[in-house]
């Protein structure tokens, strides 16, 4: 007996309300209260990069440049993910002038997972939890001083995070 | 209603560590439901953290971030009692914002 | 217990034989009889609190085949379901004492 | 007669007695105290490196790579939202003005370690999940599903208020209580389903090993962590959900949640983990 995924019910309800509010303001518009916060991000959501299938295309769409491997980018990831739905990955680097850090999974339907902007004064170190469809390379890219540096690690996935 | 955002921000005097957990389905658009129908994409696209009127961290996310997403980062500065403002917006235009105090 | 196992083995063997010989012409009547026998056995397993999910799904497959008019397949599935149900009954009965062998003491 | 010889004689008598009754004893007498001792010894012998109180952390106590992922998760555990929801539900009144607090000793705070208990009036085992739904019904509210989020949230909150308190399950001097315990034990060791597995096949014989992709949890302390957020489910699961899914995974048709068999099973499994701390709500792969 597998119980349907009702864990998201509460969240869904809330989200729908949120969506309703947006509809009133006009679709595609950012509601007033939030505008300053998101404007502060001062960047457009990189829609195209997130739509790419392979990591090479995603990197190209995101940066338009190529990354070189660097041992100054340290990734912490499990050997075997306990479950592909929740894989804890963190990265830290000793590189200077870091402006962004991104996470990619080669074998996911869309390779790009996350892109983090690191303003000056923020430590170039991020931990997050990602989904992995199957065993794959995880790639981290650090933009430091205008150049791209990467670290790659294979994470084995025995229970995929893309099925129910 | 309870906020969808949980924040833990702690200062050690020099840097402030911020951990956030957000209640959100993060449907990627690649998963089928029990009836075999695709669950449409529904995920947070942008998440921002503000301290003292300044942006200290921002995330652009795709559907590959886990359900109920978690993220941790640190920034220099920030002291106990300061506020951190956290906001997100998802691909359907829904949003939430919360303010947390640095411990 | 070994006698029981032989019985099960025999009945399974007969089932296979039955299924192949009768492949020529199974009627709706044959299906109904086989299905009723399987259902009865599954009911007995239920009384022993030990139904198998595979019995249930095989019964459903039998019904589906019959609804589609394929009585050979329907009879074969019904007989398989009966064998599964009988095996679950055998399991429940033999475990009445056998579980003790596994106990941590 | 000096003290020493009294002890000598007494122990000699005991030894003779023991020799006489031993065979019958092993076969027929139900001795929960001896069971619990043997149960605990089995696991501590099998996993000498695992501290007794760590067994409540299930597969995370058996595997280093998993343990690290767990530590990361516990920094901001995925059951956080369920816990918050449970706390809110628990303190909100029913439509008649009463609340869950009125149904439990000590207002329901810090009592999870005493469940399940044997109700001598009813002559049956009462689990926490059952007590919660009875509380709802007694106050004119519809019962919750035993396998869904609301029940998980309520039990998560109650477990949280009992964290660190050792399981303290009592078997009263009532033959029906002993019978319920024994039936629970029988259920635990009985093979069922087409895979011919008992609960013990996975959780006694193979904890720490992988079955398909999952690392199996040891039976000792397995209920101390309930309810659990499972990454595999991407949601919370109650003890009822755990029992019924275990049954269907071995291709057995699950019984209804809170049927006598499951109540007895929970009674047995909780009793043999007496002394180990409540750690729920838990997070599991």
Which of A121-125, B7-11, D211-215 shows the lowest per-residue confidence on average (mean pLDDT)? Answer: D211-215
Residue B52 contacts D where some CB pair is shorter than 8 Å = no
- D186-D189-D195 Cα angle (round to 5): 130
What percent of chain C is predicted at pLDDT more than 90? 72
Instruction: Report how many domains make up chain C.
Output: 1
| N- to C-terminal Cα separation, chain B | 24
Interface test with B, best of A13, A18, A22, A41 (most B CBs within 10 A): A41
D159-180: string of b/e by CB count within 10 Å (b at 16+)? bbbbeebebbbebeeeeebbeb
Span B25-62, pLDDT tens digits: 999 999 888 888 999 999 999 999 999 999 999 999 99
Residue D84 contacts B where some CB pair is shorter than 8 Å = yes
Listed by start position, the domains of chain B span 5-101
Which residue blocks in A52-159 are alpha helix, DSSP H?
Answer: 55-63
Query: What percent helix, strand, coil does chain C show, rounded to 5?
Result: 85, 0, 15
| N- to C-terminal Cα separation, chain C | 24
The C-alpha of A14 sits at a distance from chain D's nearest C-alpha, in angstroms, of 14
Say yes or no for a CB contact (<8 Å) between A82 and D231: yes
The CA distances from residue A19 to A25, B38, B83, D81, in Å, are 10, 20, 27, 21
* pLDDT value, residue A92: 97
Per residue of chain D (285 residues), what is the pLDDT tens digit? 444 444 444 444 334 333 333 343 445 689 999 999 999 999 999 999 999 999 999 888 888 888 888 888 888 898 999 999 999 999 999 999 999 999 999 999 999 999 999 999 999 999 999 999 999 999 999 999 999 999 999 999 999 999 999 999 999 999 999 999 999 999 999 999 999 999 999 898 888 877 766 778 899 999 999 999 988 888 899 999 999 999 998 999 999 999 999 999 999 999 999 999 999 999 988
Residue A37 to residue A15: CA distance in whole angstroms: 19
* pLDDT value, residue D285: 83
Q: Is residue B24 helix, strand or coil?
A: coil
Of D217, D106, D218, D114, give the one whose Cα is nearest residue D165: D114
* pLDDT value, residue B13: 87
Q: What residues does B65 pair with on adjacent strands?
A: A130
Dihedral sign for Cα atoms in the order D118, D120, D122, D123: positive
* pLDDT value, residue D28: 63
Q: Is residue C14 part of a domain?
A: yes
Q: Searching chain D, which residue's CA lies closest to the CA of residue B23?
A: D81
Q: Is residue B99 helix, strand or coil?
A: strand
Q: Is residue C81 part of a domain?
A: yes
Are residues D204 and D42 in contact, defined by beta-carbon separation less than 8 angstroms?
Answer: yes
Q: Is residue C105 part of a domain?
A: no
State the fold for domain B5-101.
Answer: Immunoglobulin-like (2.60.40)
Q: Which CATH class is domain D33-285?
A: mainly alpha
Q: Is residue C40 part of a domain?
A: yes
Residue D106, exposed/middle/buried by CB under 10 A (0-12, 13-18, 19+)?
exposed
Q: Which residues of chain C have pLDDT under 70?
A: 1-24
Domains and CATH numbers, chain A: 9-38 (no CATH), 46-157 (2.60.40.2470)
Taking the CA of residue C25 as centre, how many other CA atoms within 13 Å lie in the half-sphere pointing to its CB? Answer: 0
Domain span at C51: 2-97
Interface test with A, best of D73, D231, D238, D244 (most A CBs within 10 A): D231
Listed by start position, the domains of chain D span 33-285
Is it the case that residue A1 has pLDDT exceeding 70?
no
Say yes or no for a CB contact (<8 Å) between B59 and A162: no
The residues of D annotated with a catalytic role in the active site are 246
């Amino acid at each position: 007996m597998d119980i349907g995924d009702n864990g998201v019910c509460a969240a869904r309800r809330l989200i729908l309300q949120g969506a309703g509010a947006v509809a009133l303001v006009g679709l595609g518009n950012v509601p007033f209260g939030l505008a300053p916060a998101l404007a502060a991000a001062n960047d457009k959501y990189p829609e195209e990069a997130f739509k790419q299938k392979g990591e090479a295309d995603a990197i190209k769409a995101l940066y338009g440049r190529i990354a070189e491997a660097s041992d100054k980018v340290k990734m912490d990831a499990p050997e075997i993910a306990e479950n592909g739905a929740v894989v804890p990955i963190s990265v830290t680097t000793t590189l200077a002038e870091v402006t962004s850090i991104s996470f990619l999974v080669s074998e996911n339907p869309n390779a790009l997972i996350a892109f983090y902007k690191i303003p000056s004064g923020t430590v170039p170190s991020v931990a997050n939890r990602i989904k992995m469809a199957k065993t794959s390379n995880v790639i981290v890219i650090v933009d430091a001083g205008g150049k791209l540096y990467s670290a790659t690690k294979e994470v084995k996935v025995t229970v995929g995070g893309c099925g129910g | 209603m309870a906020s969808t955002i949980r924040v833990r921000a702690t200062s050690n005097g020099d840097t402030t560590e911020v951990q956030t957990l957000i209640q959100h389905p993060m449907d990627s658009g690649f998963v089928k439901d029990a009836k075999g129908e695709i669950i449409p994409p529904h995920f947070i696209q942008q998440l921002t953290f503000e301290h003292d009127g300044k942006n200290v961290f921002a995330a652009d996310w795709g559907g590959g971030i886990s359900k109920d997403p978690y993220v941790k980062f640190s920034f220099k500065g920030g002291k106990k009692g300061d506020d951190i403002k956290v906001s997100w917006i998802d691909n359907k235009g829904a949003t939430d914002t919360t303010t947390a105090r640095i411990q | 217990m070994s006698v029981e196992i032989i019985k099960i083995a025999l009945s399974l063997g007969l089932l296979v034989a039955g299924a192949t010989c009768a492949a020529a012409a199974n009627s709706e009547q044959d299906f109904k009889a086989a299905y009723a026998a399987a259902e009865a056995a599954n009911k007995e397993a239920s009384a022993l609190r030990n139904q198998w999910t595979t019995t249930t799904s095989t019964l459903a497959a039998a019904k589906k085949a019959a609804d589609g008019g394929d009585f050979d397949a329907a009879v074969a599935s019904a007989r398989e379901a009966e064998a599964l149900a009988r095996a679950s009954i055998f399991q429940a009965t033999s475990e009445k004492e056998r579980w003790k062998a596994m106990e941590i003491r | 007669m000096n003290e020493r010889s009294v002890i000598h004689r007494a122990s000699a008598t005991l030894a003779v007695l023991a020799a006489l009754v031993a065979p019958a004893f092993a076969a027929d007498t139900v001795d929960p105290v001896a069971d619990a001792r043997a149960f605990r010894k089995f696991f501590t012998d099998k996993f000498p490196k695992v501290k007794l109180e760590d067994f409540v952390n299930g597969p995370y106590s058996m595997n280093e790579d998993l343990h690290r992922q767990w530590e990361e998760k516990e920094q901001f555990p995925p059951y956080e939202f369920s816990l918050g929801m449970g706390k809110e539900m628990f303190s909100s009144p029913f439509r008649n003005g009463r609340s869950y607090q009125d149904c439990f000793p000590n207002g329901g705070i810090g009592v999870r370690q005493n469940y399940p208990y044997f109700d001598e009036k009813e002559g049956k085992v009462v689990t926490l999940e059952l007590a919660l739904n009875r509380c709802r019904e007694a106050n004119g509210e519809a019962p919750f599903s035993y396998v869904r989020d609301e029940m998980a949230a309520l039990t998560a909150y109650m477990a949280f208020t009992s964290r660190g308190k050792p399981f303290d399950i009592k078997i009263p001097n009532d033959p029906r209580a002993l019978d319920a315990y024994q039936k629970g034990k029988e259920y635990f060791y009985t093979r069922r389903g087409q895979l011919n597995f008992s609960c013990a096949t996975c959780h006694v014989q193979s904890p720490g090993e992988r079955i398909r992709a999952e690392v199996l949890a040891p039976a000792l302390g397995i209920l101390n962590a309930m309810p659990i957020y499972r990454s595999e489910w991407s949601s919370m699961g109650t003890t009822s959900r755990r029992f019924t899914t275990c049954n269907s995974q071995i291709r057995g048709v699950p019984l209804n949640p809170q049927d006598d068999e499951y109540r007895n099973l929970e009674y047995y499994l909780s009793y043999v983990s007496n002394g180990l701390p409540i750690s729920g709500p838990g997070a599991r792969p």
